[in-house]
């Protein structure tokens, strides 16, 4: 990659696209690229640097156009987002970068950055957009500054205007990553929404979407890949609470899965704002308000009786199920599970390889299973146990670890054999979610990946991963035993007793 498209972090005044853009300074940096402030030298620029006097004239012309309210800037200060394709961890990241460019090109709203162009140069994708003047709320938070009630109210109203535009499009657009770092406060006190790198412009089937967002500001349904316009409502509510309190959302008091807004907000917060943020931050999307505008009705209502009836009704606790309804619900879930299992097996059988390759593959798996058991499961542990008589306890633990490793290998080979024989679908494992507060991004992982991650974290802390697995297994077994015992006692207590026969 040439120096013109890959500017070193400590150098400025680099040029892109044959001198069209001059990089001035870095605004931010991520794992896969950077965002720069740049000067747009015009569509017919050449590579030689202009004279200083010409730069002053360009700046004055840019300022005069801005004061005149010009909407199309051919020259001036812009923001350029650089995405390093070589640093992408998966092709999905490249798709998100391209989607951001397409989405931004289709938008035209005063509270959103204006798209200028995007291009590819020497293995990197560049997105050129309007640079919104001002300061991000994250920058304010880094200086321990908060917003008062008036400022938060204006922020809610301004970003609600932008979300009304995004969610009202066909198909609607979900930002998915509203947080203090993506909200800009302009010099005139208004607010704008930036960074469409996580945008989603359509609904997908359950579990079919990449989990993208920022921990603490993501709605609970986003952890399952089910982002909707209500997810942006949650993100804006979490941003407002963070700016009022000066704390990250995960540091605030919680009630169940949701933030306890009345306890979290400072004393003296207007009741209307408390009700509005509570309605925006309900963890259940079915009980959350549909839009920020609906939450603002709470803010403007002088009394609780003026609040929308729909939201008041949603606060009513659900009617408890009867015993027969619970029993029927359990039966229904079992029937659905059996049907889902039957469908997965039918899908796996339809994907089975032909008989001859499958036969040799299963034969190879059988030979591999024998080899693993003879070496890792039998010979190596036996040798280590004999040596432990001389060298001590460490070798005995190593022998036990080999036996457990052989068991896990047998399970993995068994799953592969089941898939070959058509008893297991390749993608039948449900998606699980890994949430780590130390990370800025979260993603969906499978059950096996989650277990491998937990083992790696245990070993990194100096713990015995195998002992950790044994403890987890013992705890789970004890939990199931206690549940069975409670169920048995419950049935005994509900069984009608018959008096002794007298005679």
Structural domain boundaries of the chain? Answer: 14-130, 135-314, 323-428, 445-488
Residue 400 — pLDDT band, cuts 50, 70, 90?
Answer: confident
Per-residue pLDDT at 264: 93
What is the pLDDT, as a whole number, of residue 199? 46
Residue 111: how many other CB atoms lie within 10 Å: 19
Q: What is the DSSP letter of 182?
A: G
SS3 501: coil
Alpha carbon 479 to chain centroid, angstroms: 31
Mean pLDDT of all residues belonging to the chain: 75
Asked if the model's pLDDT at residue 289 lies above 90, the reply is yes
Q: What is the mean pLDDT of residues 128-134?
A: 89
Q: pLDDT digits over 144-160, tens only?
A: 999 999 999 999 999 99
How far from the centroid of its chain's Cα atoms is residue 56's Cα?
45
Pair 71, 114: CB distance under 8 Å: yes
Give the tens place of pLDDT for each residue, 26-43. 887 765 678 888 998 876
Residue 433 confidence (pLDDT) = 41
Highest mean pLDDT pick, 92-96, 272-276, 308-312, 398-402? 272-276
Report for 403-407, 437-441, 453-457: range of highest mean pLDDT? 403-407
The pLDDT-based confidence of 485 (bands split at 50, 70, 90) is confident
Place of tokens 């790696």: 456
Q: Judge: domain 14-130, CATH 3.30.200.20.
A: yes
349-362 pLDDT per residue, tens = 776 777 788 888 88
Give yes or no for residue 308 having a pLDDT over 50.
yes
| Cβ–Cβ under 8 Å, residues 187 and 133 | yes
Give per-residue pLDDT as tens, 181-221.
889 999 999 999 987 654 444 333 333 444 455 778 988 88
Residue bearing the bigger pLDDT, 438 or 363: 363
pLDDT band at 390 (very low <50, low <70, confident <90, very high): confident
Tens of pLDDT along 220-242?
888 877 888 999 999 999 999 99
How do residues 11-25 score in pLDDT, each as one tens digit? 446 888 888 999 998
Domain 135-314 part of CATH 1.10.150.120: no
- Model pLDDT, residue 427: 45
Q: Which range is most confident: 260-269, 300-309, 360-369, 407-416?
A: 260-269
pLDDT category of residue 8 using cuts at 50, 70 and 90: very low
Contacts for 240 with CB less than 8 Å, ≥ 6 apart:
152, 155, 156, 277, 280
């Amino acid at each position: 990659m040439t120096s013109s498209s890959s500017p070193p972090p400590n150098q400025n005044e680099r040029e892109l696209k044959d001198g069209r853009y001059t990089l001035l300074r870095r605004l931010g940096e991520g794992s896969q690229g950077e965002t720069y402030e740049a000067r747009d030298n015009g569509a017919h620029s050449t590579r030689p640097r202009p004279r200083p006097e010409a730069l002053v004239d360009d700046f004055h012309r840019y300022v005069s156009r801005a004061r005149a309210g010009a909407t199309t800037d051919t020259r001036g200060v812009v923001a350029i987002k650089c995405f390093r394709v070589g640093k992408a961890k998966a092709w999905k990241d490249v798709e998100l970068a391209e989607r951001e460019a397409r989405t931004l090109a289709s938008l035209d709203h005063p509270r959103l950055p204006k798209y200028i162009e995007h291009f590819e140069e020497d293995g990197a994708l560049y997105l050129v957009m309007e640079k919104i003047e001002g300061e991000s709320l994250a920058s304010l938070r880094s200086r321990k500054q908060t917003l008062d009630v008036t400022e938060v109210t204006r922020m809610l109203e301004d970003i609600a205007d932008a979300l009304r535009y995004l969610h009202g499009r066909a198909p609607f657009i979900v930002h998915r990553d509203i947080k203090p770092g993506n909200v800009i406060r302009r010099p005139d006190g208004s607010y704008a929404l930036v960074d469409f790198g996580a945008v989603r412009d359509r609904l997908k089937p359950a579990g079919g979407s990449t989990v993208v967002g920022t921990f603490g500001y993501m709605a609970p349904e986003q952890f399952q890949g089910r982002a909707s316009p209500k997810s942006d409502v949650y993100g804006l509510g979490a941003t407002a609470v963070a700016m009022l309190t000066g704390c990250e959302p995960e540091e605030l008091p919680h009630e169940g899965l949701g933030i306890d807004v009345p306890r979290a907000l400072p004393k003296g917060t207007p009741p209307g704002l408390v009700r509005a943020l509570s309605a925006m931050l309900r963890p259940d999307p079915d009980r959350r308000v549909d839009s920020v505008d609906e939450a603002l009705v709470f803010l403007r209502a002088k009394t609780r009786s003026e609040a929308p009836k729909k939201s008041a009704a949603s606060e009513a606790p659900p009617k408890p199920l009867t015993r027969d309804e619970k029993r029927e619900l359990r039966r229904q879930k079992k029937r659905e599970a059996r049907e889902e299992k039957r469908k997965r097996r039918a899908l796996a059988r339809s994907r089975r390889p032909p008989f001859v390759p499958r036969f040799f593959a299963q034969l190879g798996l059988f030979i591999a299973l024998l080899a693993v058991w003879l070496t890792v499961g039998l010979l190596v542990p036996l040798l280590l146990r004999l040596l432990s008589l001389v060298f001590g306890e460490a070798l005995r633990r190593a022998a036990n670890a080999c036996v457990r490793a052989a068991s896990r290998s047998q399970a993995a080979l068994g799953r592969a054999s089941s898939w070959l024989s058509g008893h297991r679908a390749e993608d039948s494992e449900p998606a699980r979610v890994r949430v780590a507060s130390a990370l800025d991004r979260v993603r969906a992982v499978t059950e096996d990946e989650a277990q491998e991650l937990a083992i790696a974290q245990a070993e990194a802390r100096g713990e015995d991963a195998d002992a950790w697995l044994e403890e987890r297994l013992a705890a789970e077994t004890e939990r199931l035993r206690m549940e069975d015992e409670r169920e048995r006692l419950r049935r005994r207590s509900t069984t009608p007793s018959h008096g002794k026969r007298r005679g």
